[in-house]
Chains A and B, each alone.
Chain A
């Protein structure tokens, strides 16, 4: 299996622009997670889906952030408009089940820089 695939790997954009991050989870995994990693705040869970349905989006920082999962093999995280403080590494992860004892598998991340 190719693992969790994220694109792009790097994104540089200007403040105010829309940014879309993409994720393909591992085939057969039912849960998908979006995390953000910064030096200041570490790893933060933004949102997670189970069977394509958003379960918990309490970590989404603002209305500028939105996430969708139109099918079992694709998810997007959109930031509109982007701001410099959104600069971070964004990880997508998937797990076989929703159960809290199930490990997650992470993609390589998208390094977002907003200038």
Chain B
């Protein structure tokens, strides 16, 4: 079975500082990894994904994430946080081993608050 852990329920960071939202995963075979963001009363919005290739993936709104196979991690990062980045962030994993099952497993979410 595949799983995702987001060890921090809440992350606070000052505006202008770098931010990191942590994610670790467990999956059979090679992972496909995703980050989504959810603003209040909205659906999830896709930010970026890792499929294969370069371990550093760049996405929307200046976010990036680094895939680390040895640590089974896929942390979300941004060099300079904005107040408007405050939202709920979800990491998700699937795998080619999912086959037709199309299993996309989400983490529990991390609430990011950027303080002015």
Mostly, the A contact residues are strand
Of the four ranges (under 10, 10 to 19, 20 to 34, 35 or more), the interface on chain B belongs to 20 to 34
Whether A100 lies near B41 (C-beta < 8 A) is no
Count: A-B pairs, CB below 8 Å:
56
Contacts of B1-57 to chain A: CB distance below 8 A: 32, 34, 36, 41-46, 49, 51
Q: Are B46 and A100 in contact (CB under 8 A)?
A: no
A100/B43 in contact, CB under 8 A: no
A31 to B43 alpha-carbon distance, docked (Å): 17
* B98 at the binding interface (Cβ < 8 Å): yes
Interface centre among B36, B46, B104 (most CB of A within 10 A): B104
Cα(A72)–Cα(B100), bound, Å: 19
Q: Chain B's interface: helix, strand, loop or mixed, by majority?
A: mixed
Q: Does A113 contact B (CB under 8 A)?
A: no
**Which chain A positions have C-beta within 8 A of B94?**
100-101
Query: B36: which A residues are within 8 A, CB to CB?
Result: 106
Interfacial residues of chain A within 72-115, with CB under 8 A of chain B in the complex: 91, 93, 98, 100-101, 103-109
Asked if B96 CB lies within 8 Å of chain A CBs, one says yes
Asked if residues B103 and A100 are in contact (CB atoms below 8 Å), the reply is: yes
B residues with CB within 8 A of A: 32, 34, 36, 41-46, 49, 51, 90, 94-96, 98, 100-104, 106-109
Knowing that A100-B104, A105-B46, A108-B43 touch, tell me 15 more A-B residue pairs with CB under 8 angstroms: A45-B103, A45-B104, A48-B102, A50-B100, A55-B101, A91-B43, A91-B44, A100-B32, A100-B98, A103-B34, A103-B46, A104-B46, A106-B43, A108-B42, A109-B43
